[in-house]
Amino acid sequence: MFSIVDKGLPKKISDPFHKLLLARIAVPGKIDKTFYNAVELVLPVSRFTTGLAGSGYANAIPDSDGTTRRVALLIQYDGRIYPHIAFIMAMHYLGADMKDISIKPGKYIKIKKSKIGSFRIPVDEKNQMLLNYPGGIRMYHPLSFLEVIDNYRTNPSAQILKDAESKAIFVGLTATGTVDLRPTPFSSLFPMVGVVAATFANIVDGNYMKEAPRFMNFLMVLFVGFFVTVFSIRFRPLKGAVFAAGVILLWCVFAYAVFLGRFVISVISPVAAGLFSFLGVTIFRYAGEEKEKKFIKNTFQRYVSPQIVEELISNPQLLKMGGQKAHLSVFFSDVRGFTSMSEKMEPEEVVKLLNEYLTEMTKVIFKYNGTLDKFIGDAIMAIWGAPKYFENHAELAVRAAVEMQEEVGRLCEKWAAEGRQKIGIGMGINTGFVVVGNMGSASYADYTVIGDNVNLAARLEENALAENILITEATYDEVKNIVKVEKLEPLTVKGKAKPVQVYRVLQIL
């Protein structure tokens, strides 16, 4: 390769301008405090070392992903510190001496004296400098060795030599297929001679990239993770995803902006923190929503129609835990003479009759979007207007009561044909404000209603004869256009200072 000028090569190396040859160091062996500790040192061929201004290693240790982003400016071997070839070249170029440096690992290598005065090179804990690549290999104006040889043979004084005058020249392999190609941020196959050139240029030009310290990157991870978590919790999944993506995008824009100012902050870690925060909140929310859906289904499938259960699952905000004031209609019914009747029947027969009766009544309640509050023996308590509100809850309650009386009539006909006992039902309905919600102990609660208007509905039922439906004036005002009623004498009710006007429902118009 050097046959053309082989005889004169050592002399050329010893010419006045500083020539340096690289050595090769096998690294890393281990990290000894702040230096990579090399395990092998390979020096240049001895005939090339005569008159050298110095030599250094050209190794660059890739990051964990195999990409070369940093160069260790100093490496330890056998108790001695060796400089990188680009570092020692820059020191010669700037008129600095290797004796005039001080090292503060994790912060900088300080050059105390040079042509440009004192300056600092930012390094990490391993004395690695983060490279500020100017671009691809073409940014360095590469010349093929063939061009140099042809120029030497044909026209030594040609422009190619003039262009190289007073320039730092790096000789290395660039051809595809050679072993001296590595992944860098600019290329998956980047010549290592370009890495050396970038290191030299960064030091000489003072064009350094500065990395954020670890604690700052940690704070950035917390910052992005916190805001993504807050937005993800505060908003529904789709809106939360938009806000989370916005936070992550803004972070990437911010990281790029400071990168243009030659300051490098972590991008992957905060973005990962944001993604994992959103994913974590989403999973937690999904698990919580599934638990809530299960709770709603288990709690209300006994009380309301399947359609209302599904609506409550889709819109859980309709169901507020704890008591709240609401305007709705309350229904009570009771089998007249059931106690004396049951004493004449076998227990099994009583249970069979009661179950059949309650089953049919529940179907009617659900048909008219009512909520079954509870069974009290043979008595039924139901409400209309909660947990899902219906504007015409009073009408629904009255229509359900009328159909329930009709259904009782059909049951009695059936039971009579079977030789079984007939029954008669008294019903009472009141409309007004009550307190509704899940009430009970910390370990057991029921969805129910309480209040004076609940008690009034119960008092009406107590005073209703078999096959009668009694309603208050408040309920009548809501349904007077759809029912035919009989106005009864005011009813004296316990807890009320004045008699209460009641009506007996005769039929639906």
Tell me what pLDDT residue 17 has.
Answer: 38
pTM beyond 0.95: the answer is: no
More confident residue, 146 or 184: 184
Q: Is the pLDDT of residue 341 over 50?
A: yes
Tell me what pLDDT residue 59 has.
Answer: 83
Q: Is the pLDDT of residue 29 over 50?
A: no
Q: Is the pLDDT of residue 409 over 70?
A: yes
The sign one gets for the Cα dihedral 5, 8, 14, 20 is: positive
Q: Determine if residue 321 is left, alpha or beta; phi over 0 gives left, psi from -120 to 50 gives alpha, anything else beta.
A: beta
Tell me what pLDDT residue 329 has.
Answer: 97
Q: Each residue of 265-283: pLDDT tens digit?
A: 888 888 888 888 888 888 8
Q: Please give the average per-residue pLDDT across 160-173, as a whole number.
A: 75
In this predicted structure, which of 197-206, 326-335, 341-350 has the lowest mean pLDDT?
A: 341-350
More confident residue, 482 or 155: 482
Alpha carbon distance 100, 119 (integer Å) = 11
Q: Please give the average per-residue pLDDT across 340-360, as a whole number.
A: 86
Tell me what pLDDT residue 281 has.
Answer: 85
Tell me what pLDDT residue 319 has.
Answer: 56
Q: Is the pLDDT of residue 12 over 50?
A: no
Q: Is the pLDDT of residue 507 over 80?
A: yes
More confident residue, 343 or 151: 343
Tell me what pLDDT residue 28 has.
Answer: 44
In this predicted structure, which of 150-159, 213-222, 285-294, 431-440 has the lowest mean pLDDT?
A: 150-159
Q: Each residue of 34-61: pLDDT tens digit?
A: 778 877 777 777 776 666 667 788 888 8
Q: Is the pLDDT of residue 226 over 80?
A: yes
Q: Is the pLDDT of residue 458 over 70?
A: yes
Q: Each residue of 459-468: pLDDT tens digit?
A: 999 999 999 9
Tell me what pLDDT residue 156 has.
Answer: 61
Q: Each residue of 424-457: pLDDT tens digit?
A: 999 999 999 999 887 777 667 677 889 999 999 9
Instruction: For CATH 3.30.70.1230, list the domain ranges present in the chain.
Output: 318-508
Using the structure block, give the residue that is written with the tokens 């209300």.
300
Q: Looking at this protein, which amino acid is placed at residue 209?
A: M
What's the mean pLDDT when you consider all of the chain?
81
Q: Is the pLDDT of residue 188 over 60?
A: yes
Tell me what pLDDT residue 493 has.
Answer: 84
Tell me what pLDDT residue 30 has.
Answer: 46
Tell me what pLDDT residue 18 has.
Answer: 42
Q: How many CB atoms lie within 10 A of CB 384?
A: 27
More confident residue, 509 or 158: 509
More confident residue, 209 or 8: 209
Q: For the residues of 48-109, what is the DSSP string, one character each? A: G-TT-SEEEE------TTS---EEESEEEETTEEEEBHHHHHHHHHTT--GGGEEEETTTEE
Q: Is the pLDDT of residue 7 over 70?
A: no
Say which DSSP state 47 is in. Answer: G
Alpha carbon distance 310, 320 (integer Å) = 16
127-146: b (≥16 Cβ within 10 Å) or e: bbbbbbbeeebeebeeeeee
Tell me what pLDDT residue 1 has.
Answer: 24
Q: Is the pLDDT of residue 318 over 60?
A: no
Tell me what pLDDT residue 8 has.
Answer: 39
Q: Please give the average per-residue pLDDT across 23-27, as a whole number.
A: 45
Tell me what pLDDT residue 63 has.
Answer: 85
Q: Is the pLDDT of residue 320 over 60?
A: no
80-83 and 74-77 as β-strands: parallel, antiparallel, unpaired?
antiparallel
Tell me what pLDDT residue 470 has.
Answer: 97
In SS3 terms, 390-419 reads as CCCHHHHHHHHHHHHHHHHHHHHHHHHHCC
Q: Is the pLDDT of residue 416 over 80?
A: yes
Contact 85, 58 (CB under 8 A): yes
User: Which of these CATH numbers, 3.40.1080.10, 3.30.420.340, 3.40.640.10, 3.30.70.1230, describes 318-508?
Assistant: 3.30.70.1230
Q: Please give the average per-residue pLDDT across 102-126, as a whole number.
A: 88
Tell me what pLDDT residue 227 has.
Answer: 86
Report residue 3: phi and psi, to 5°: -60, -30
Q: Is the pLDDT of residue 503 over 70?
A: yes
Long-range contacts of 356-363 (CB under 8 A, 24+ apart): 356/411, 357/408, 357/411, 357/423, 360/407, 360/411, 361/333, 361/404, 361/407, 361/408
Say which DSSP state 4 is in. Answer: G
Q: Please give the average per-residue pLDDT across 163-178, as a whole number.
A: 76
Alpha carbon distance 172, 438 (integer Å) = 80
Largest CA distance in the chain: 134
Report residue 80: phi and psi, to 5°: -120, 155
Alpha carbon distance 393, 7 (integer Å) = 110
Q: What percentage of the chain exceeds 90 in pLDDT?
A: 24
Tell me what pLDDT residue 9 has.
Answer: 39
Nearest to 501 by CA among 490, 493, 486: 490
Q: Each residue of 53-105: pLDDT tens digit?
A: 677 888 888 888 888 888 999 888 887 888 888 998 888 889 888 888 888 88
